[in-house]
Structure 1
């Protein structure tokens, strides 16, 4: 299945990630110098817009055409000069060493080939540049909800479904293994992000049903008669967490 992050309404989920984007941009000290900031997997522009507002020259990299359009429109509405290019973490259309700061808010961690992504991030980062990215810590509430959906998908496909490889960027040793050979020293810091639930059924609709993962998996689950059961299980779990749930994440900073 070819995955397109542009389907559904990812912008509804992206709003909840703004506090992490703010943490990321602050940790990178964006604005202290006139720098070129590259936001890899820019999505709806959370990080790119914040960096541009602080005076950085910003390039967003995003493979989903609709999300590129959303970022460009948001930048234009604020009068910010943000370039948005078609690319992925493993294929960034920029010259070697052209980025002073490379940022990624829960995006690079989704790259299918972590080493290929790390190699590409290192390639575009200047010799004295830095890379900072956010990564979810495994085992939290999102994993529980995705586990419910994953179990239903496995049942719908008679076990033939192969889940994507688990992200490893949250592990400082793994991040060091990926970026260390390129001369980077990795420093992790722990953070938390709070998700308000409100009405569980509404949260399902906005954060899961309209999430690109939900849009891609819904037809399969509906055809197998498993959609309603998965929905009920997730809503039951959300009901237990009302009024909010907290997710741990890591900011990985890599400096040459």
Structure 2
């Protein structure tokens, strides 16, 4: 029997056919699952049905393994999950949704997250974008506020924080810079005022504060003017190179 033909009911306890389609029903006669076989293995789309009779899940098979786009549906027929398989493992785009609103978009390679993973809030607004490589965070992760502004950026290397984590206010002004090394705070954490000027500094070594926070004192205006005049008074570059200035 071909897949296009009318499926036959699988008697309880009978092994699957070598080739053909099996339609399994519940005690009331409602369809529960429809399977296609080739050479005694699942081959084609397995369709599973809800108690109400609607399509609940479509699972593609090839030679007994999941291969293609798996789709889970809600009661109104909208996709809840769309997962791409190749030779039995996740490989390709993956999406999760709820009531037609996106929750997550990702890409898998050989069963592992690989590439950008984008998550959304309950309204479908952007919540976070995280870069992955071979199943762990690697690269930039950006967290967003409900209004779409950037709340924080983090740098990862092989699953651990590495580099500066930056925090921003609603106006896009940098408010904190925290350095990480091998997943631990290490270096000077700087906080900034509402104008973006450094205000406090806390030194960290291996995730432990080396002392209390210290105020960052900006250079006096007169000092800044003197420094600016010194820079302007420097001789031209060609004189500095020849030593004649």
Q: TM-score range by the shorter chain?
A: under 0.3
Q: Which structure's residues are more often strand, by fraction?
A: 2
Larger RCO: 1 or 2 (CA < 8 Å, sep 6+): 1
Q: How high is the TM-score relative to the length of structure 2? A: 0.17
Q: How high is the TM-score relative to the length of structure 1? A: 0.17
Larger Rg: 2
Q: Which structure's residues are more often helix, by fraction?
A: 1
